[in-house]
Amino acid sequence: MNNFSTLPRQTYLAQVCLRSLLALTAAGYGSGAWCNDATLINPLHTARAAPQPAASSTSAPASAASAADRSDAPIISLRSTVAKQLREAIEQSNAASGIKKKSAAEIAAAEKSAAKNPHAVAAKGRNVPAEVRSRRMTPAIAARTASSHGQGAVHEAHGAPHWSYEGETGPQAWGQLQPSFNLCAIGKRQSPIHIEDSEALLGPAEPLQISYLPSGGSVVNNGHTIQVDLAGENTLTIRGSTYKLVQFHFHHPAEEKLNYKGFAMVAHLVHQNAQGQLAVLAVLFDPGEASAMIQKVWTNMPLDVGDRVSLPVGLIDLNETLPKDRRYYQFLGSLTTPPCTEGVLWLVLRQPMTLSREQLKLFAQLFPNNARPTQPSFGRVVREAQ
Ligand SMILES: [Zn+2]
């Protein structure tokens, strides 16, 4: 990012401004991290972040604007002027490059939210964006450190754009928020999809070989969903490959639709094989009897974004949340959250489970709508298996 000759003029000016600020404040205000990529990727976010006296790699870069707001030093007015110029230069740069200016409310929301990708446990592969790949963890590491969200927090702090399920950063805009999100807009194998029996290929049978054991782990509220990072040995074998269950999370309403029917909720059980490929088993829920599994998760539900609650060893037994009827739909799709990475094997169980209205209401109060709309199938094959 420091090859000035290839940078747009406004971006170059922004870097000059940043360096000027850095020089001006080297004595006491700056963190030394202002001229990093994050600053340029998400300058408005950065400009409102609090100053970090000893910024680490996980801290938000120090703020030009908020530092400039300090009134206890004569240098302030100069800093304020430079900060204003910096912000204007960056805004012009963004406008020229098509980056949408964020509203103050969005910036505040982005700062408040340690936004993470519920699907990006350890995505890896030919089509996976570099920043996802570079933060790849093995499932064992993810389980041990339960830090897939810590990774997300790092990502956010370094300028990943805020995304949401409504408004200017909603699903319709995901593909434009950042170049690495462009599959959200142009991908031809996106999820979720509307599954219709009349268009699905029937059989032959390929039973899911599921081996789930009572497991512990932790529950996190990542700002987009409630997610359980599992620590146990849980595997799914399908299409000649064994995938390890890394995490599961919820969407309300369900993202999938079956034969024009929607569902109140879906649990996505995210598995990964040794090659880093992902397989997601979707369990649908209708209102009805309470779910024992959901009760355990909700009991330990973190209420604040970024909070994590440890689960007792052996608490979660996912066998109790799988339907008796193991018929399922099989197709290739994507992550349903940015960066919408494709090459994900989707396995959607036909028979819904149930959760109580109280259980649904609790989640809905935190997440009124965290479902991506269905995406075009572009003629892809959906196989009805077993
Ligand atoms: Zn999901």
In a domain, 123, yes or no: no
What contacts 48, CB < 8 A, 6 or more positions away?
63, 65, 66, 107, 108, 111
Amino acid 21: pLDDT: 33
Amino acid 161: pLDDT: 74
Rounded to the nearest whole angstrom, what is the distance from the C-alpha of residue 149 to the centroid of ligand 1? 15
pLDDT at 261 over 80: yes
Mean pLDDT of the chain: 71
**Mean pLDDT within 17-37:** 31
Query: How many structural domains does the chain have?
Result: 2
In a domain, 110, yes or no: no
pLDDT at 350 over 60: yes
Residues 270 and 197 in one domain: yes
| Dihedral sign computed on CA atoms, order 309, 250, 191, 113 | negative
Annotated catalytic residue, options 224, 249, 251, 268:
224
In a domain, 14, yes or no: yes
Nearest-angstrom CA–CA distance, 292 and 180: 38
Count of beta carbons in the 10 Å neighbourhood of residue 142? 24
Nearest-angstrom CA–CA distance, 70 and 371: 42
Count of beta carbons in the 10 Å neighbourhood of residue 12? 15
Contact present, 37 and 14 (Cβ < 8 Å): no
In a domain, 191, yes or no: yes
pLDDT band for 203, please (50, 70, 90 cuts).
Answer: confident
Residues 224 and 373 in one domain: yes
Rounded to the nearest whole angstrom, what is the distance from the C-alpha of residue 92 to the centroid of ligand 1? 36
In a domain, 85, yes or no: yes
> In terms of pTM, does the model score above 0.85?
no
The least confident of 65-69, 222-226, 350-354 is: 65-69
Domain carrying residue 19: 4-97
pLDDT band for 160, please (50, 70, 90 cuts).
Answer: low
Residues 75 and 174 in one domain: no
pLDDT band for 205, please (50, 70, 90 cuts).
Answer: confident
Rounded to the nearest whole angstrom, what is the distance from the C-alpha of residue 122 to the centroid of ligand 1? 14
Residues 134 and 63 in one domain: no
In a domain, 105, yes or no: no
- CATH code where residue 162 lies: 3.10.200.10
* 162 annotated active-site: no
Q: What is the pLDDT of residues 102-131, one digit of tens each?
A: 344 443 443 343 334 445 443 333 333 322
Rounded to the nearest whole angstrom, what is the distance from the C-alpha of residue 337 to the centroid of ligand 1? 7
Residues 243 and 306 in one domain: yes
pLDDT at 374 over 50: yes
pLDDT at 201 over 80: yes
Among residues 49, 55, 38, the alpha carbon closest in space to that of 1 is found at 38
